[in-house]
Homo-oligomer: A and B are copies of this chain.
Amino acid sequence: MTKTQGVRKRANGVESRQRILDAAARISGERGYEGTSIAAVSAACGLPASSIYWHFKDKDDLIAAVIERSFDTWLASVILPPEETGTGLERITTMAAGVAKSLMDAPDFLRLGLMLALERRPAEPRGRTVFLQVRDTARARIAEVLPELFPALDDNAVQTLTTYTMAGADGLFVQREITGDTIDLVPLFELHAQLVYEAARRMTDRSP
């Protein structure tokens, strides 16, 4: 029996799960955890609430799944180009531009993540934990890149610069969310990369 693309949609768990996640990602990316109601997700994806609860244990599980799905996509952008592609400055500038592009393509992930991260509720949502893990992985990537470009950097300086690099990325993203979609993050991220690069260079000069 061939799969007819007919009007009558037959029960399709995988596709329904994706539709639920799409709707939940959009709504939670716009309104945060508390602002995302199951009824709204249900209306947006066209499936009843009971279907959502068949695919996901509870609301917490749904939000966590939203974060997890964007996980790999986003982390793939945090990569330093190989050595033969250019100078150190060129490489981290390209890396920064790549992160900027991925953030502009799919801002819901970081927007929801930052909202979850800023909240301090008594029972921490699992989505927040997952987001912080992704963040730590991204942070570790940067902490590996810096000594590769500046072997003379001591560990303390690497930690400080890593923190500063992450902060700049978050802050520039927030800036775009506030000011509007017209702002292009790429040149700002490139500037950020250059400033971090210069700072690292000066730090190595100081402690030979």
Residues of A within 8 A of B (CB): 30-35, 111, 114-115, 117-121, 132, 135, 160, 163-164, 166-172, 174-175, 177-178, 187-188, 191-192, 194-196, 198-199, 202
Task: Give the secondary structure class of A's interface.
Answer: helix
Kindly identify which residue among B111, B163, B177 contacts A188, using a CB–CB cutoff of 8 Å.
B163
- A166 to B170 Cα, complex, angstroms: 11
Question: Which residue on chain B has the smallest CB distance to residue A170?
Answer: B171
Assuming A171-B168, A171-B170, A174-B114, is B163 touching A35 (CB within 8 A)? no
Query: Which of chain B's residues have a CB closer than 8 A to the CB of A121?
Result: 30-31, 35
Copies in the complex: 2
- A95 to B169 Cα, complex, angstroms: 22
Query: Which of chain B's residues have a CB closer than 8 A to the CB of A170?
Result: 170-171, 174-175
Kindly identify which residue among B30, B135, B169 contacts A178, using a CB–CB cutoff of 8 Å.
B135
Query: Which of chain B's residues have a CB closer than 8 A to the CB of A120?
Result: 30-31, 111
Interface centre among A160, A166, A167, A188 (most CB of B within 10 A): A167
Query: Which of chain B's residues have a CB closer than 8 A to the CB of A164?
Result: 168, 172, 188, 191-192, 195
> Is A166 a contact of B160 with CB atoms below 8 Å?
no
Kindly identify which residue among B132, B166, B187 contacts A171, using a CB–CB cutoff of 8 Å.
B166
- A121 to B111 Cα, complex, angstroms: 13
Query: Which of chain B's residues have a CB closer than 8 A to the CB of A174?
Result: 114, 117-118, 167, 170-171, 174
> Is A31 a contact of B31 with CB atoms below 8 Å?
no
Query: Which of chain B's residues have a CB closer than 8 A to the CB of A175?
Result: 163, 166-167, 170
* A100–chain B nearest beta-carbon distance, Å: 12
Interface centre among A118, A187, A191 (most CB of B within 10 A): A118
Query: Which of chain B's residues have a CB closer than 8 A to the CB of A35?
Result: 33-34, 119, 121
